Amino acid sequence: MNRIAILISGRGSNMDAILDRIQSGHLEAQVAFVASDRPDAKGLEKAKSRAIPTEVLPYGDGKAKGEAALQNLMDRHDVNWLVLAGFMRILSEELVLRHQGRIVNIHPALLPSFPGAHGIEDAWDFGVKVTGVTVHLVDHLVDHGEILAQLPVRIKQDDDLESLERRIHRAEHRLYWRTLRSLFSGELKGRKEGSK
Ligand code: GAR
């Protein structure tokens, strides 16, 4: 069985969408815990209300302490996949290498365009006509690593930033669990793994 940990920093709507699909039986996985670098992350309450164990990682004491706590939890809970859902920290190369090909992230733009913390806004400000969402394997760079799946979102004439944000989040909630399902079932292989 796939034992996953979900990492968040904020609202947790992507986490929620994944938990919905696990609950409905569409995605086969067990969530060992949800962890955040921020004690005030709204998503922690949502996870608690679903009776999922939650943890706050001590990033306030530095990245090394935050990651050591994360590694400890992963070992203790036998976690084999890390699912980043709005987790706004860059993982160290050491942690990434230890779990290579088993850390997944979602980004609200079509990478490699508009990485960073403001993907939707940056695409909007640039004036692109098509943006979208990307699910990718994580490396130690910002929103970087092998792309697993993308979903385009067209910018409409009457869009404003808010309406675009809503559609991007809907696209994220559609794409993330499906990509995880393909990845967990072995149907979707990382390119490097697939070419071995
Ligand atoms: C999501 O849009 C996610 O793609 C983005 O943070 C948001 C979290 O929302 N992540 C990044 O920008 C990573 N660079 P959520 O907490 O409601 O899932």
Go through the domains of the chain in sequence order and give each one's CATH number: 2-185 (3.40.50.170)
Residue ID of nearest Cα to ligand 1 atom 8:
86
Q: ipTM more than 0.90? A: yes
Which among 7, 13, 42 is the best mutation to test ligand 1's pocket, defined by most ligand atoms within 8 Å of the CB? 13
Residue ID of nearest Cα to ligand 1 atom 4:
107
Beta carbon of 8 within 6 Å of any ligand 1 atom: yes
Beta carbon of 46 within 6 Å of any ligand 1 atom: no
What single-letter DSSP state applies at residue 55?
E
For residue 163, say whether it is annotated as part of any ligand binding site.
no
Closest-lying ligand 1 atom to the alpha carbon of residue 119: 12
d(CA 54, CA 56): 7
Q: In the block, which residue shows the tokens 């696209």?
A: 171
Residue 54, strand partner residues: 34
Mean pLDDT of the chain: 95
Tens digits of residue pLDDT in 32-59: 999 999 999 999 999 999 999 999 999 9
Cis before 112 (ω within 30): yes
Cα(196) to centroid(ligand 1), Å? 32
- Main-chain phi, psi angles of 125, to 5 degrees: -65, -35
Q: Two tokens at 155?
A: 């910018």
pTM of the model: 0.95
Q: Is 179 helix (H, G, I), strand (E, B) or coil?
A: helix
For residue 12, say whether it is annotated as part of any ligand binding site.
yes
For residue 65, say whether it is annotated as part of any ligand binding site.
no
Tens digits of residue pLDDT in 119-164: 999 999 999 999 999 999 999 888 999 999 999 999 999 999 999 9
